[in-house]
Structure 1
């Protein structure tokens, strides 16, 4: 208890506390030595806790009625001029029962809230492990969340505390395991009180877990070896390949991560977690720059023309027992790094190395969302780059997709060295499409220079297209309309006219 809390209890006329129907109050037991015989005690006993109720308003209705009644009881003392101290374990406004009294009384009577030591801080202190360090993000979660939500949030954060265990423990444990955080997770029961227990979460029997327990996933930085640099090292591909030569050791893995078309807003929770857990990040420099710097991680940057070498480097690192994330833009399986990694991983000596591919938001879907719903019906995705396949193949596929009346998402339409492909594609498409077919030019989607424009196919200017542009060409059914706010939307109906 804080010094101020002791002072307030000493000066109070009434001591109020919440409890379950058994009548025992943890808050009262904590403050017991400071209570006087002449204190008026108000035990605010919940009508229900986790059990069902026949109240006409259900569980929530029963509690709302109780809070109103409890507030009215305290108001009688306040109207009589008595000072009321509502004691609450932990901090009154952190998942505390007092907050329901505060909402009903604080605007009517002079109120002072005395902050307390939360179970979060107490648990970390008892474990002797920092909760968060440097730029780490701490997430506090109630164990009552659905398992999928817990899993996603645990995967995406640096450190976490899950509260309100008890009967939620099996769900929390499964979420820890599914998110890959179970080996890091600790269990703390009744921190700083009689019956305190601390163990690894994986070793806990669910039948022994009370409500007043928490799970802690502490700072990763705190577990780094002494002397580890707090700024991230950067290694070149050549230097690292030399350093990792030799016999396999340990149990590493490669995770190919899609970062979406831009930055953190496009990153899935699973991908965010994989990037945080990796010991080595391998990727094209532009994509690596999207990933926050983390102490202890090594970054292996290269240009965008050495995909096979990059994949081999990642797999070599994994052979040495490292956890490696190959960073890819968009979705790694769509014109990106997943193919290169899997191609190398299926060769000796890499066949035994675990490889996972995590999806990302691909550029076509991001651009389509900005424009409306131009890919709302069947569509094809084609790269106009003839660096890895001949133009004759591209032209044949454009003819086939356009002839099938598919909307088209055209990746890699142009660059400084490829200037004629867009014009040629326009000519081919006009053999199958009306001149006024909507074409979306989506550039730098999600980035600082984002722009989305819609033109007619006949008016498509190749000089306005570069490597950072994605083209979406509508089908014969695609429509464009301007709304009252001046924005233009493009969509392809899901219902196709009967032949």
Structure 2
């Protein structure tokens, strides 16, 4: 047993919410209002979601706008009607049935359902399912914003006195006037008196088959239906600047750090830079980590053409493209930021920004604890861009200074001896039991992390996808396998 007030939206059955459609299909009783002709727009919208065997309750109004001899007048006749309808629905609820009352638009926005709600919601479990309003539908049909920033939207019934309509239309930024029909001429005159007629629109049966849109000032008052409204959209939409053919677009290059793994490692700033990009440039496997977007052009290159890749990105930006040059980890750590900035000296007119990313060293460290908790240095073991003698000298200096080391690019298919050479060099300054962390593909599908010692470091277990962290004399490994370097130095 439960009462549901279900909003159906403005008319298009595809604008019915998923929840509304489910409740309509599950209900024992479907109730809907209709004028004296008995045809219900609400039922026609809900029909695709109804099933055979459901009980239907037609709540047919005894009158619309005509006069009545009811002792309480027009309102008295309606009040009696609502009481009788509520009693009919209460009988179903008392019998344990689920009752759905259909409502065009939103149930609590100038809707008939609210009269049932006021009479039954305090007596039975009740839930209101909101729907798309006619105001929202009309704005969507027009393709114009209702309000933006601090603007004010005023919703008015056309049944208000003309003077009140005029006063409120003068005082607001945007407005929607509902319940036109017989009030149309008065409403249009109020727009004119308020000096807003030239900006006002008429929308009839929004999203329905007989939908009609026209400037309010051009509409013939004869035949204007109740299901229509006058709309005054955001003043900003009136001032929209036309697009200028051939207008130049300012391009830029963003060098974006993708972090060590998937989307969870990506910063919001990096996500935004990738989202607005027109072109993605980078080493093939890194470009492949960016989800495909058909409006973006992807430029995959080999890993050994950094200078050419940078110049290509800058040329694209000079032509008006928004280019994202992608790097794994942080683009400023053994990655593309330097290459782009070096090349950018020949492109002073192209803006370049660096979007940082989580580094591989930080990622590997986080998996075991806090081995980088004190001073540390970062060294690449690759001797492609600097001689091994320089690498060895820096390793010795860091070892003598008792710094934790994060070692990038430890090995490759053509470089197989550097790890053993590094181990032997460090053993001249470090104890054999010095903790060593080997992180491989951290953040990726093939992630592995191992903790060993400097003496037991096996070069055969290290490849280009690994990062090594070599502890200092103070780095510790707990019985649980956590690795940390204390912040206090003895």
TM-score range, shorter chain: 0.5 to 0.7
* Inter-partner Cα distance in structure 2 for 1:162 and 1:492: 58
Aligned to 1:366: 363
Report the CA distance between 1:190 and its aligned residue: 6.2
* Inter-partner Cα distance in structure 2 for 1:202 and 1:460: 70
Q: Paired residue for 1:38, among 79, 101, 120?
A: 79
Aligned to 1:305: 304
Taking the TM superposition and a 5 Å limit, the aligned residue runs for 1:54-73 are none
Report the CA distance between 1:125 and its aligned residue: 2.1
2:490 is the alignment partner of 1:493: no
Q: Paired residue for 1:424, among 421, 424, 427?
A: 421
Aligned to 1:405: 402
Aligned to 2:322: 323
Report the CA distance between 1:86 and its aligned residue: 12
Q: Paired residue for 2:464, among 463, 467, 470?
A: 467
Structure of higher CA gyration radius = 2
Q: When the two structures are superposed, what TM-score results if normalisation uses the length of structure 2? A: 0.59
Cα RMSD of the aligned pairs, angstroms, is: 4.5
Alpha carbons of 1:436 and 1:117: their partners in 2 closer, same or farther (altered >3 Å)? same
Alpha carbons of 1:201 and 1:383: their partners in 2 closer, same or farther (altered >3 Å)? farther
Aligned to 1:346: 345
Aligned to 1:241: none
* Inter-partner Cα distance in structure 2 for 1:396 and 1:162: 67
Aligned to 2:131: 116
Alpha carbons of 1:393 and 1:164: their partners in 2 closer, same or farther (altered >3 Å)? same
For the 8 Å contact 1:443–1:450, the answer to whether it is kept is: yes
Q: Gapped runs of 5+ residues in structure 2?
A: 1-6, 21-29, 35-63, 66-74, 83-89, 109-113, 153-172, 178-202, 204-228
Report the CA distance between 1:428 and its aligned residue: 1.6
2:140 is the alignment partner of 1:125: yes
Report the CA distance between 1:255 and its aligned residue: 0.8
Count of aligned pairs between the two proteins: 335
* Inter-partner Cα distance in structure 2 for 1:315 and 1:125: 40
Aligned to 1:266: 265
Q: Gapped runs of 5+ residues in structure 1?
A: 12-32, 42-74, 93-97, 130-160, 169-186, 205-222, 226-248
Report the CA distance between 1:201 and its aligned residue: 8.2
Higher RCO (CA 8 Å, separation ≥ 6 residues):
2
Alpha carbons of 1:199 and 1:334: their partners in 2 closer, same or farther (altered >3 Å)? farther
Q: When the two structures are superposed, what TM-score results if normalisation uses the length of structure 1? A: 0.58
Aligned to 2:276: 277
Aligned to 1:197: 233
2:298 is the alignment partner of 1:293: no
* Inter-partner Cα distance in structure 2 for 1:360 and 1:202: 42
Task: Describe the superposition over 1:351-379 as per-residue Cα deviations: whole angstroms up to 9, x where unpaired.
Answer: 11111110111101111111111111111
* Inter-partner Cα distance in structure 1 for 2:307 and 2:343: 7
Aligned to 1:390: 387
Report the CA distance between 1:309 and its aligned residue: 0.2
Report the CA distance between 1:262 and its aligned residue: 1.8
Alpha carbons of 1:124 and 1:358: their partners in 2 closer, same or farther (altered >3 Å)? farther
* Inter-partner Cα distance in structure 2 for 1:258 and 1:355: 14
Report the CA distance between 1:122 and its aligned residue: 3.8
For the 8 Å contact 1:285–1:303, the answer to whether it is kept is: yes
For the 8 Å contact 1:123–1:188, the answer to whether it is kept is: no
Please state whether the residue corresponding to 2:309 is helix, strand or coil: helix
Please state whether the residue corresponding to 1:37 is helix, strand or coil: helix
* Inter-partner Cα distance in structure 2 for 1:490 and 1:471: 13
Alpha carbons of 1:252 and 1:459: their partners in 2 closer, same or farther (altered >3 Å)? same
For the 8 Å contact 1:414–1:422, the answer to whether it is kept is: yes
* Inter-partner Cα distance in structure 1 for 2:408 and 2:398: 15
Alpha carbons of 1:88 and 1:352: their partners in 2 closer, same or farther (altered >3 Å)? same
* Inter-partner Cα distance in structure 2 for 1:203 and 1:496: 65
